[in-house]
Amino acid sequence: MKLSLTRPLVFIDLETTGVDINQDRIVQIAILKVYSNGTQEIKKFLLNPTIPIPEGASKIHNIHDEDVKEAPTFAQIAVKLAEYIKDGDFAGFNSNKFDIPLLIIEFSRVGIELNIEDKKFIDVMTIFHKMEPRTLKAAYKLYCGKELVGAHDAENDIVATYEVLKAQLLRYENVAYEDKDGNFSYPVTNNIDSLADFTPFNLVDPTNKIITDEQGNLIFNFGQYKGQPVIDVLLKNPGYYHWMMEANFSIFTKRVIKQVWESQRVKR
């Protein structure tokens, strides 16, 4: 079908050095510009972010420092890019929360203010989530084909949850799942170990402020030290420990921080 447009619709997708819109940079940008007559144009730029690309980010988009060392920087394409997209509205997948804000910040770094006051913003992921709500009632309807009567009564909810799980096992019995690295598996089986692996629980810190990497090292998963080992951060910035212990973090997070802190004091 042809979209009903009064001006171009500019779809934007970014590959970046990370997910912090204030700190991370663009390493690749793709633009699909759809005109009101239905014609389409695609432009794609590989960019040198001017900062190292973390290994974790490279594992997702397969773009490494070596790939971008000769690529232009965002500053070098910014004027041309701003001119190309200025006449359109914007669209993307999770673009309202990530791609568009990060893009605006990148423009601001090079002194370009992107005029967005009269723009329309279409986020395909928001449509997906609103039309396919992630609630027990919606899941019961989707998987079991029944309306959930008496939702938010604990007994009704837990019985419905049990029925949903059994329906999921039937629906996804031979359905492949593709992870972020492109690996396929069949995890939704009538096997508790497999299901638990597919729906992991962070035993270290259920709030996910602290996670473990593939080597089992404790890693910060938020803030200025995101992606860095907890032990390294506390050694170089002891004040961060005291701040976290006084701030509004969960007992789980504080317990991990305290254990790391005290283990280092013993070693010293």
**What is the enclosing helix (H) or strand (E) of 83?**
helix 74-85
User: 225: which DSSP letter?
Assistant: G
The pLDDT, as a whole number, for residue 139 is: 93
Give φ, ψ of 221 to 5 degrees.
-120, 25
User: What tens digit of pLDDT does each residue of 192-212 get?
Assistant: 989 989 998 888 998 899 999
- What CA–CA distance (Å, rounded) separates 164 from 151? 14
Q: Tell me the one-letter amino acid at 57.
A: A
Give the other-Cβ count within 10 Å of 151's Cβ: 13
**CB-CB contact of 10 with 50 (8 Å):** no
Alpha helices in 18-64 (DSSP H): 55-61
Cβ contact 35:11 at 8 Å: no
Instruction: List pLDDT tens digits, range 37-56.
Output: 999 999 999 999 999 999 99
Residue for token digits 């568009």?
A: 100
**pLDDT tens by residue, 82-98:** 999 999 999 999 999 99
| CA–CA gap between residue 116 and residue 96 (Å, rounded) | 12
Other C-beta atoms closer than 10 Å to the C-beta of 265 total: 8
Measured between alpha carbons, how far is 67 from 77 in angstroms, rounded to an integer?
A: 18
Global pTM value: 0.69
CA atoms within 13 A on the CB side of 48: 10
Question: What is the pLDDT at residue 130?
Answer: 83
Are the C-beta atoms of 73 and 103 separated by less than 8 Å?
Answer: no
The CA–CA distances, whole Å, from 196 to 98, 169, 170, 210, 212 equal 30, 13, 17, 20, 17
Boundaries of every domain in the chain: 9-128, 133-198, 210-267
pLDDT of residue 203: 85
- CATH superfamily membership of 9-128: Ribonuclease H-like superfamily/Ribonuclease H (3.30.420.10)
Query: How far is 88 from 100, CA to CA, in rounded Å?
Result: 13
pLDDT band at 150 (very low <50, low <70, confident <90, very high): confident
Rounded alpha-carbon distances, angstroms, from residue 33 to 26, 100, 132: 19, 15, 27
> 122 - beta bridge partners?
91
How far is residue 90's CA from residue 22's CA, in Å, rounded to a whole number? 20
Q: What is the pLDDT of residue 266?
A: 53
Instruction: Give me 206's structure tokens.
Output: 């259920």
